[in-house]
Amino acid sequence: MIVSASVPGIRAAVAPLRERGPVGFVPTMGALHEGHLSLVRIARKEARSVVVSIFVNPLQFAPAEDLATYPRTLDADLDLLRAEGVDAVFTPRAETFYPPDFSTTVAVAGVSEGEEGAVRPGHFAGVATVVAKLFLAVGPDVAVFGRKDLQQAAVISRMVRDLDFPVRLVIAPISREEDGLARSSRNIRLSAEERRRAAAFPKALFEAAGRIGKGEPAESVAARVREGLEREGFGVDYAELVEPATMKKVSEKVPGAVLAAAVRLGNIRLLDNVSIEGER
């Protein structure tokens, strides 16, 4: 497995892989878990070679957010990727990936503006910018993202379409723990008591999505979800029924609609979403 921290280095590593066939790519911020590894396995099915990036992207963190405390476990991550047979890993350093006079931003209007975009202004400009740079560095044929970050998937899909990136996107199902909690690198920072309580979050979403799927009014169900989670001690940033390609809020059951939510438990934000047509 080749590991490179430079753009020229990863391009040199990928060039012979491309001669063998399609290249799959999984961008990550490290602190890898089974959810990430499931994306790697999907990429292996979709392509001949697999490249993974590990980069905690400073552009997508606001000053008050957890950039400094975001878990970093590079050596353990590399061991996991070797075991999965990954061909190359790109580990750029922020100071070289974003030189001091870096001044270009990729902004995706509309789809980035509600939900996470409203709670975290500037977040998706940071996401779109880093993914564009990663695509240009690696040059993948296929890129795999998880559905847990629903709005991120929508933003990247729109960017790929609008800017004609020659990359096919695969959006993978959410990987969950046994109690239903969506896997996330931030979960390890929950205290034992917080981790126990966290299971109430997906449970509430699945129950609410089922009620909406049976025809109950979406807005009243979502309001009850917010109230119930607040009673359980969660801080609720949003819980809304949305159309996932556009992230526009919808007020009634429509095909493909998803109940998306973000909550805070202690200092940790948890994201999740459930289709009203059942888990996909």
Predicted pLDDT of residue 278: 67
Which contiguous run of DSSP H or E holds residue 35? helix 34-46
| d(C-alpha 181, C-alpha 19), whole Å | 40
Catalytic residues: 36
Residues 151-176 pLDDT 10s? 999 999 999 999 999 999 999 999 99
Residues 30-39 pLDDT 10s? 999 999 999 9
Predicted pLDDT of residue 65: 81
Predicted pLDDT of residue 69: 84
Predicted pLDDT of residue 184: 95
Whether the model clears a pTM of 0.85, i.e. scores above it, the answer is yes
pLDDT over 90 at 254, yes or no: no
Distances (CA, A) of 171 to 148, 179, 209: 9, 23, 20
pLDDT over 80 at 142, yes or no: yes
Predicted pLDDT of residue 279: 60
pLDDT over 70 at 280, yes or no: no
Residues 46-104 pLDDT 10s? 999 999 999 999 999 988 687 888 889 999 999 999 999 999 999 999 999 999 999 99
Give the percent of the chain with pLDDT over 90: 92
* Domains of the chain in sequence order: 2-172 (3.40.50.620), 185-273 (3.30.1300.10)
| d(C-alpha 136, C-alpha 237), whole Å | 34
